Amino acid sequence: MKYYLIAGEASGDLHAANLMKSLKEQDTAAEFRFFGGDLMASQGGTMVRHYREMAYMGFIPVLMNLNKVLRNIRDCKKDIAEFHPDVVILVDYPGFNLKIAGYVREKLNIPVHYYISPKIWAWKEYRIKSIRRYVDKMYSILPFEVPFYRKHRYEIDYVGNPTVDEMAVRPMADETFQDFISACGLPDKPVIALLAGSRISEIKSNLPVMLKAASVFPEYQMVIAGAPAIEDSLYRDLSQGYDVSVVSGKTYRLLQQASAALVTSGTATLETALLRVPQVVCYYMGGGKFTYNLFKRWLNVRFVSLVNLIADDEVVKELLACYCTPDNVRDELRRLLYDKDYRDKMSDGYDRMAALLGEPGAPVRAAREIIKTLRAGH
């Protein structure tokens, strides 16, 4: 069968690539075209556009690049019409993908499947109308999404979480601490890992707070997890005056050797939890309590970290906006480093969360459901 996939950022490229691999294993005649990235390209098929040409996040960047955004949408619609696949598979990235979904269902009458739901349970809940109208099948990777969608009279399938798969097959899972610090040229001291985000704006906001908070524990070394496509020079500029190292392309290896981690909200909080590393969730935004209260009103959920959302409980401390101060982060980090009972309680929460996520196999199950549905003519 012919599959057309659309992923608009690095995480979507990873998840879509794993889905493509599973589709090929179950459909030996699989043919792919896609908007995506290098990982998807490694699975074969034809890349129409790289996500680097699409990744405009936020109102101002989109407005400044509106001509490019509109051209990408036009080109994508035209290419799908010419390729005429058996199914279009969308991966997160709702601002772009829901526009494509409407065109594909209304103009081309091609089935639309969605792998990895947009976070409409957190904000922009109104998008459920477009999903009900244009998306034939939704494959969820977060268990709490199932009751949310059912509340809106839309049935979805929970297929498991791909991060569980990535943890299960991560390279060098048995690496020792000594081997790690030797490979990275680090001192022989326990590690506090700093994961300050994947975008420049996030890093500029969060890293200074993290450095101030973690720098008062001299028996520990601070190690920054370098994000993909971020130059080391940015980390050097922001960390002047601190004794800190940067390790790029080795985030899982760094985390599994860390005594504790300071982590911005996102998938990194889930990865840290699955590796059983005590963590503080940090996300600084300017504007004081006004911004914090506005942020809380804007969100439809109690928590922002995936760990707490999945567990439906405060497993990890979330220090957001005006509460993300060096003093607050330092106090929480001190508890993680020196209070064993506190760490053990967090570890128990991690275990509950992992049980809810289930076993590896998310892309395999999603591929199986996609193929079964298409062969049944739905």
Give CA–CA dist 247/242, Å, rounded: 15
Query: Quick check: 324 pLDDT over 70?
Result: yes
Q: What is the pLDDT of residue 179?
A: 97
Give CA–CA dist 362/158, Å, rounded: 9
Long-range contacts (CB closer than 8 Å, 24 or more residues apart) made by 312-316: 312/144, 313/349, 313/352, 315/273, 315/346, 315/349, 315/350, 315/352, 315/353, 316/269, 316/273, 316/279, 316/280, 316/281, 316/346, 316/349
Structural tokens at position 23: 């589709």
Q: What is the pLDDT of residue 204?
A: 94
278-322 pLDDT, tens digit each: 999 999 877 667 666 666 666 777 898 999 999 999 999 999 988
* Domains along the sequence of the chain with CATH: 2-166+360-375 (3.40.50.2000), 172-357 (3.40.50.2000)
Query: Quick check: 33 pLDDT over 90?
Result: yes
211-222 pLDDT, tens digit each: 999 999 999 999
Q: How remote is the C-alpha of 269 from its chain's centroid?
A: 9
Q: What is the pLDDT of residue 181?
A: 97
Could you tell me if 97 and 119 are in contact, meaning their C-beta atoms sit under 8 angstroms apart?
A: no
Structural tokens at position 175: 């690496």
Query: Quick check: 54 pLDDT over 80?
Result: no
Provide the pLDDT confidence category of residue 59 given band limits of 50, 70 and 90: very low
Structural tokens at position 286: 């300017």
Could you tell me if 335 and 316 are in contact, meaning their C-beta atoms sit under 8 angstroms apart?
A: no
Give CA–CA dist 316/353, Å, rounded: 11
Q: State the chain's mean pLDDT as an integer.
A: 91
Residues 6+ apart with CB under 8 A from 151: none
Q: What is the pLDDT of residue 57?
A: 52
Query: Quick check: 112 pLDDT over 80?
Result: yes
Give CA–CA dist 62/205, Å, rounded: 21
Could you tell me if 259 and 276 are in contact, meaning their C-beta atoms sit under 8 angstroms apart?
A: no
For residues 198 and 118, the model is more confident at: 118
| Across 110-114, average pLDDT | 97
129-180 pLDDT, tens digit each: 999 999 999 999 999 999 999 999 999 989 999 999 999 999 999 999 999 9
Q: What is the pLDDT of residue 123?
A: 76
Beta strand 221-226 with 157-158 is unpaired
Could you tell me if 263 and 280 are in contact, meaning their C-beta atoms sit under 8 angstroms apart?
A: yes
| Across 356-362, average pLDDT | 96
Q: What is the 3-state secondary structure (H, E, C) of the chain?
A: CEEEEEECCHHHHHHHHHHHHHHHHHCCCCEEEEEECHHHHCCCCEEEEEHHHCCCCCHHHHHHCHHHHHHHHHHHHHHHHHHCCCEEEEECCHHHHHHHHHHHHHHHCCCEEEECCCCCCCCCHHHHHHHHHHCCEEEECCCCHHHHHHHCCCCCEECCCHHHHHHHCCCCCCCCHHHHHHHHCCCCCCEEEEECCCCHHHHHHHHHHHHHHHCCCCCCEEEEEECCCCCHHHHHHHCCCCCEEEEECCHHHHHHHEEEEEECCCHHHHHHHHCCCCEEEEECCCCHHHHHHHHHHHCCCCCCCHHHHHHCCCCCEEEEHHHCCHHHHHHHHHHHHHCHHHHHHHHHHHHHHHHHHCCCCHHHHHHHHHHHHHHCCC
* Statement: the pTM of the whole predicted model exceeds 0.85: yes
Could you tell me if 67 and 79 are in contact, meaning their C-beta atoms sit under 8 angstroms apart?
A: no
Q: How remote is the C-alpha of 274 from its chain's centroid?
A: 14
Query: Quick check: 62 pLDDT over 80?
Result: no
For residues 337 and 10, the model is more confident at: 337
Q: What is the pLDDT of residue 198?
A: 81
Q: What is the pLDDT of residue 9?
A: 83
Identity of the residue numbered 61: P
Q: How far is CA 232 from CA 33, 238, 292, 299, in A?
A: 34, 10, 31, 33
Residue where the block lists tokens 């005429």: 84
Q: What is the pLDDT of residue 377?
A: 78
Structural tokens at position 95: 């601002």
